[in-house]
Amino acid sequence: MVRKNEPHTHEIDHTPCPYCGHIRSCATGLDDERRPKGGDYTVCAKCGSVCVFDEQLMLRPPSPQQTQYLIENPQMLQRIMHASRVIKLRNKARRLPN
């Protein structure tokens, strides 16, 4: 059962990360259970890069205007950068020798 206001994972059409090529087939919202829509920001689960969904829900690098929007919304920027840092730290830990 999915409770309201809990993160919910949605299947989306396969779309490659524009930075690392990782094929993504799902997205998890941070705030609510709605499906992602064009213009939503996201973080690649593989490389941690910040991306934006276009109208076809394909991943794109943020435009200069979308980057500026993030800079002007520090709360949103902080959450996105936190997710990005967690993924990048996880990747770094995996590269460490045993």
Residues β-bridged to residue 60: 52
CB closer to Zn ion out of 68 and 91: 91
CB of 65 to Zn ion, least distance (A): 22
CB closer to Zn ion out of 33 and 81: 81
CB of 92 to Zn ion, least distance (A): 15
CB of 5 to Zn ion, least distance (A): 28
Q: Which residue has the tokens 């993924």?
A: 87
Helix (H, G, I), strand (E, B) or coil at 77: helix
CB closer to Zn ion out of 34 and 92: 92
Largest CA distance in the chain: 43
CB of 50 to Zn ion, least distance (A): 10
Instruction: Give the contacts of 31 (CB within 8 A, at least 6 positions apart).
Output: 5
The H-or-E segment that residue 24 falls in is strand 23-28
What stretches of 1-98 show up as alpha helix (H) in DSSP? 64-71, 74-95
CB closer to Zn ion out of 17 and 80: 17
Q: Which residues contact Zn ion (rule: CB under 5 A)? A: 17, 19-20, 22, 44, 46-47, 49
